[in-house]
Structure 1
Amino acid sequence: MQTLQRCQGLSATGRTGGLVPVVAPAHRGLSQRGLQAAAVASAVTNSTTKLPASHLESSKKALEQLKQQAVNRYAGDKKSSIIAIGLTIHNAPVELREKLAVPEAEWPRAIEELCQFPHIEEAAVLSTCNRMELYVVGLSWHRGVREVEEWLSRTSGVPLEELRPYLFLLRDRDATHHLMRVSGGLDSLVMGEGQILAQVRQVYKVGQNCPGFGRHLNGLFKQAITAGKRVRAETSISTGSVSVSSAAVELAQLKLPTHNWADAKVCIIGAGKMSTLLVKHLQSKGCKEVTVLNRSLPRAQALEEEFPEVKFNIHLMNDLMACVEASDVIFAASGSEELLIVKDDVAKMAPPSEIVGSKRRFVDISVPRNIAPQINELEHAIVYNVDDLKEVVAANKEGRAQAAAEAEVLIREEQRAFEAWRDSLETVPTIKALRSKAEAIRAAEFEKAVSRLGDGLSKKQLKAVEELSKGIVNKLLHGPMTALRCDGTDPEAVGQTLSNMEALERMFQLSQVDVTAMAGKQ
């Protein structure tokens, strides 16, 4: 992961190559008063000391001022930062990843909790067997990071000092590029695997019902899905067997003494997507019979119908131990958040046949894990987890290097498209300010004209004069407004639009416009 920077604490120093310093504030152009206001707000947020009412009121005003500066370009502050923070199989062991894993059903709750922090505006959760990543839009870069770290530590129960060495932290372009690579399968353990695209799409789908999954993250994940589709459609990166399940099957076959599935009795725990892929690749490797355990029969029966050439022995979870004892290779791919098989369970079982080396092999691709690692202490059993799959994926990466290079080009194109769209949002405050200023001038001049005319005009005539003034203003604003509107699809057009915006701000002195105040008067 070339752009990843480990989060070694808020005192880390920056490095070259485009990486962002962990602690460097994003207050480009922020006044000293703004910094002081942020500090006051943070002190109140993080302190347990009871402050006087006047101090609390002042801190609330300071935080509100910081928020207004973040959304109003005329306060001189940089727009909110997109932050990616989390851990992946590349830099964190499964023992830690499973503690931070968030089930899909809990994503809305996690988004809501994150957005309750004062410096986090939007949030998204991407939690799979290989990664746990949070994407947030932060009102303040370093305070937003601090709040996300606090949430990660609190929800996982892992002290922050133990968590930080394994975290990666990315900002803005690095963060968006990372998500595009994830969606394209370039950051996966098995390069080019397709399941991650479905998982990114699920984040987007769940986010549609979450208020905290706002405009920026909605646009980012939508663009990432497009990038993932293009990578798979326009390159050869996804050809062949590419998934965690296929790697698990290859690992297990590699460990069998005869390397032949006809010599081993296979059991699969779970009947979801991972199990479907397991059966698919087992069949392609010559496996003719599998035992499937699941909490309910319908999903297991649907799996049986999908692979008519494979003989299925379907059981409910009540038969778990009996089925495990009767098997030589056991794959765990269930959604259980608890251990299903522990050391004492396996210790009571008779060893497998000599043809499989008298060892019962467990391949656990669930996160959190379903098979206790202590089983490795037994003489006739061995447990592999997703981290052990690295042994069989190195050749995969070498063979897909050319396709990966082609994919990077496509990802850069989609990233530029997203950045152009996001930049186009900057013109919205300018449009509002220009129209507010024009309307304020029109209304003032209209009032002057009415006062000079006295009572000599009827209501109908006054309305006609007012409509005339509005028509003149709209005609004059048509050209500037057209120059400020852009759909964000063309980066060059966005650049021209932003140049027009800066020119209009100077000409009409829009930095002095208080849009909120003017709207109130109107």
Structure 2
Amino acid sequence: MSSSMAAAVGSATPPSALRVEASAASRSLASATRVSIFFKSPITRALVCANGPSFNLRCEAVSENLAQKNQIDLKGSGVSALELLKTSAADRYTKERSSIIVIGINIHTAPVEVREKLAIPEAQWPQVIGELCTLNHIEEAAVLSTCNRMEIYVVALSQHRGVKEVTEWMSKRSGVPIPEISEHRFLLYNEDATQHLFEVAAGLDSLVLGEGQILAQVKQVVKTGQGVAGFDRKISGLFKQAISVGKRVRTETNISSGSVSVSSAAVELALMKLPESSYSSARVLVIGAGKMGKLVIKHLAAKGCKRMVVVNRTEEKVNAISQELKDIDIVYKPLSEMMACAAEADVIFTSTASESPLFSKEDVQKLPSVAPFLRRRLFIDISVPRNVEPCVSDLETAVVYNVDDLQEVVAANKEDRLQKAAEAQVIILEELNKFVAWKDSLETVPTIKKLRAYVERIRASEFEKCLSKLGDNISKKQKQAIYDLSMGIVSKLLHGPMQHLRCDGNDNRALDEVLENMRSLNRMFDLETEISLLEEKIRVKMERAQK
């Protein structure tokens, strides 16, 4: 392998805008609740985090609901969500609009040992969406789980209750206690949650700034969610918009130029840990030929590795890679020969979806010594859950590095990458405004439906009254004419209100007017859109849960 290092390996400084909510801060003074600080600009967050110990506040992406202690605990009080609507708290409860929330952990907030416990395999995403949407206050859901993050996106009828239910579900599913999840999780709501996903899709929140694999993973969320009940209009619209943002950022900025993926950073880390004299002679084993493994193989080839052994469940993927890299000697071996291959390898890369370790301390202890010019066998484990037990590093004959150790590689060219991230943020904010306008415009749909139903009831009633007065001698043609007349009057009367309840989302001022028109119509015709819809949704959920 070549000894050259990739100078373009970049900083993974996560995006986000120093923002302290004044109202929350003032409430916290009275309740002695911790104030959380948000970093929603990559430059601000990087500068604050870079100050290290001299800056006495922890750099975190966790946003707490500072009024939680004042909220009603449904489970503790024994009061159902539906009954709560009938109590004196109903007005406060129903005025809360549904929210988009992201509840998650990532490489910036949680170590790999926590992330692997909460990781959700892609094959289980549809099932998880269904489970989340059975919770009383969750309408829609999506899961984004990768080696660097596990994030759950939901549309919740109540912020506090939605977060509480999802956190309890996460704890029950993973076995991780709620306090431990709360210590490492981050919570973002509405525009902050939307902006976060856009930054993720653009590669701004990745370990390696600008990496492209995360966009493919966001696309996979949409592909997996197609046709799944619960992956509905708002959540699917959010992820589709995020894909557009990711494409636009990579097209209009040069954020991806010179960037590396997690896989290439793993190869760079191996080069850093190997003695320079052993680059060309080290025996390399790659376990797993999926997306990550394929990239590892390609980057090894790019660095001058001419021969490697690849262990995989099937041979087809390895053969396909061999066809692409015809100058490289790629030897396929089945999983049954993994330990035999490991015995003959000096450097082992693991990137499989196995939920249990492939290498235990006892397994590695039995392996023969590495080549004389090396002191210890090198494991680069970029899987989550991890494929190599961390205690393997306790042995004198082996050392293990995981995805969290890649930070050492991605610290170069920090300022250049922050400038690229700033350029990307301009695009993200434009797209954020478009999405928020589109989402807000959806609020008028229930009002439109209820107003149409209200007017239709009046029309139908008056039509029947008219027919009864005319008696039985009226002809079919006359009856149709009267019906057409009633429908025409309704259509013309509704035309004006309907026009004022629609907005294309491009003009924020016009959108504000539309939402005010919606509220006015709700008051004038006593439609009670928000309250009745919320009550109806919760009733349906509770009835479904009782079956």
TM-score (norm 1): 0.84
Identical columns (%): 54
Select 2:186's aligned residue among 168, 179, 182: 168
**Whole-angstrom distance in 1 between the partners of 2:364 and 2:497:** 75
Cα displacement (A) at 1:102:
0.8
SS for the counterpart of 1:238 is coil
Q: Unpaired segments of 5 or more residues in structure 2? A: 1-13, 20-30, 41-61, 534-547
Amino acid at match of 1:305: Q
Distance 1:350 1:452, change over 3 A: closer
- Residue 208 of structure 1 aligns with which residue? 226
Superimposed CA distance per residue, residues 434-454 of structure 1 (whole angstroms, 9 cap, x where no aligned partner): 323333443444455556556
Are the aligned partners of 2:95 and 2:530 in contact in 1 as well (CA < 8 Å)? no
Q: 1:11-26 alignment to 2 at 5 Å?
A: 12-15=33-36, 21-24=64-67
Q: In the alignment, does 2:83 pair up with 1:62?
A: yes
Describe the SS at the equivalent of 1:375: helix
Cα 1:240–1:20 change in 2 (3 A) is: closer
**Measured at CA, do residues 507 and 146 of structure 1 come closer, stay the same or move farther in structure 2, by a change above 3 Å?**
closer
Q: What secondary structure, in the 3-state scheme, does the structure 1 residue paired with 2:67 have?
A: coil
Query: Cα offset for 1:315?
Result: 1.0
2:286 alignment counterpart: 268
Contact 1:352 1:359 in 2 (8 A): yes
Q: Is the 8 A contact 2:95 2:531 kept in 1?
A: no
Contact 1:41 1:63 in 2 (8 A): no
CA–CA distance in structure 1, aligned partners of residues 244 and 18 of structure 2: 23
**Residues 1:134 and 2:152 are matched in the alignment:** yes
Residue 223 of structure 1 and its aligned partner are, at CA, apart by 0.6
**Contact 2:142/2:221 (CA < 8 Å) preserved in 1?**
yes
Give 1:467 shift.
2.1
Residue type of the partner of 1:475? K
1:369 to 359, 383, 386: 386
What residue identity is the alignment partner of 2:340? A
* Aligned residue pairs, count: 484
Contact 1:291–1:312 at 8 Å: present in 2 too?
yes
Alignment partners' CA distance in 1, 2:83 and 2:364: 61
Q: Aligned AA for 2:419?
A: Q
Structure 1 equivalent of residue 410 of structure 2: 393
User: CA 1:467–1:65 in structure 2 vs 1: closer, same or farther (change >3 Å)?
Assistant: farther
Report how far residue 295 of structure 1 moved: 1.5
Match status 1:439 vs 2:460: no
The one of 471, 479, 484 aligned to 2:501: 484
Is residue 119–residue 144 contact of structure 1 (8 Å, CA) maintained in 2? yes
Q: What amino acid is the match of 1:484?
A: L
Equivalent of 1:285 in 290, 303, 306 = 303
Distance 1:236 1:396 in 2: 14
What is the identity, as a one-letter code, of the residue corresponding to 1:116?
A: T
Could you tell me which residue of structure 2 aligns to residue 350 of structure 1?
368
> Equivalents in 2 of 1:20, 1:339: separation in Å?
33
SS at match of 2:280: helix
Does the Cα contact within 8 Å between 1:102 and 1:127 map onto a contact in 2? yes
> Partner of 2:409: helix, strand, or coil?
helix
SS at match of 1:393: coil
CA distance, structure 2, for counterparts of residue 176 and residue 4 of structure 1: 17
**Aligned equivalent of 1:102:** 120
2:27: which partner in 1? none
Shift of residue 469, structure 1, vs aligned partner: 2.3
**How far off its partner does 1:304 sit?**
1.2
Give the letter aligned to residue 166 of structure 2.
V
Residue 342 of structure 1 deviates from its aligned partner by 1.5
Report the alpha carbon displacement of residue 16 of structure 1 after superposing the two structures with TM. 6.3
- In the alignment, the residues of structure 1 paired with residue 32 and residue 83 of structure 2 have an alpha-carbon distance, to the nearest angstrom, of 25
Distance 1:246 1:20, change over 3 A: closer
- Which residues in structure 2 correspond to 1:182-261 (within 5 Å)? 182-258=200-276, 261=279
CA distance in 2, matches of 1:87, 1:512: 35
Residue of structure 1 in register with 2:140 after alignment: 122
TM-score by length of 2: 0.81
Aligned residue for 1:394, secondary structure, equals coil
Q: Which residue pairs with 2:358 in the alignment?
A: 340
Question: Aligned partners of 1:63 and 1:283: how far apart in 2?
Answer: 63
Matched with 2:54 is none
CA distance in 2, matches of 1:415, 1:302: 40
> Partners in 1 of 2:358 and 2:472 — Cα distance?
88
CA distance in 1, matches of 2:361, 2:532: 67
Give the drift of 1:201. Answer: 0.6
Instruction: Name the CA shift for 1:255/1:381 in 2 (closer, same or farther; >3 Å).
Output: same
Q: Report the alpha carbon displacement of residue 77 of structure 1 after superposing the two structures with TM.
A: 2.2
Which letter does structure 2 place at the counterpart of 1:308?
K
Shift in CA distance, 166/222, structure 1 to aligned 2, threshold 3 Å: same
Amino acid across the alignment from 2:315: L
Secondary structure of the corresponding residue to residue 287 of structure 1: coil
Stretch deviating more after TM superposition (324-333 or 478-487): 478-487
- In the alignment, which of 413, 417, 423 is matched to residue 406 of structure 1? 423
